[in-house]
C-alpha cells in the first residue's frame, strides 16, 4: 500500500510541476484582461491615483473595472435591491471584496446605493 501511495504522490507532484507555468500564464493574462477592460470605461483614462499614507498610490486599473465588478453589475441589474453581502455570496467572493468593488461601480455612475441595498443607476 505504501508503494502505491508514494507512486501516486510522485505522479501528482510531476503533474503539478507540468501545470505550474500554465497556471502562472493564466493569472498574468487575467490581470492583463482586467486592466484592459478598465481602459474603455468612461473616465478611466482621466482618473488620478489616490494619495496613500506615506506617498502616492501606484496607478492601476480603476476600482470596479474587473471581472467581479462586471458580475456584480450584471447581478444588480438582474436583481435590484440586493445588499453587498448577498451580492458577494452570489458572485462567490468575500463580502469585504464586494464592499470594495461596489463603490467603484457607483463612482462610474452604474449603480447607486439606497439605504443598505444596491440598484442599477437607470432604475428609479
pLDDT of residue 81: 94
Per-residue pLDDT of the chain (124 residues; tens, 9 = 90+): 789 999 999 999 898 888 888 888 888 888 888 777 766 655 554 444 454 455 555 566 555 558 888 999 999 999 999 999 999 999 999 988 888 899 989 988 999 999 999 999 875 4
CB atoms within 10 A of CB 84: 21
Measured distance CA(55)–CA(28) in Å, rounded: 27
pLDDT of residue 58: 58
pLDDT of residue 78: 94
Q: Burial of 40 by CB count in 10 Å (0-12 exposed, 13-18 middle, 19+ buried)?
A: exposed
pLDDT of residue 52: 47
Predicted TM-score (pTM) of the model is 0.49
Amino acid at each position: 500500500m505504501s508503494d502505491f501511495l508514494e507512486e501516486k504522490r510522485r505522479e501528482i507532484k510531476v503533474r503539478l510541476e507540468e501545470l505550474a507555468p500554465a497556471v502562472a500564464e493564466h493569472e498574468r493574462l487575467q490581470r492583463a484582461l482586467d486592466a484592459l477592460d478598465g481602459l474603455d470605461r468612461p473616465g478611466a483614462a482621466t482618473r488620478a491615483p489616490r494619495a496613500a499614507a506615506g506617498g502616492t498610490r501606484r496607478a492601476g486599473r480603476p476600482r470596479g473595472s474587473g471581472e467581479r465588478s462586471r458580475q456584480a453589475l450584471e447581478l444588480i441589474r438582474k436583481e435590484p435591491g440586493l445588499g453587498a453581502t448577498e451580492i458577494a455570496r452570489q458572485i462567490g467572493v468575500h463580502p469585504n471584496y464586494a464592499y470594495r468593488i461596489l463603490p467603484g461601480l457607483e463612482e462610474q455612475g452604474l449603480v447607486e446605493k439606497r439605504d443598505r441595498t444596491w440598484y442599477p443607476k437607470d432604475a428609479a
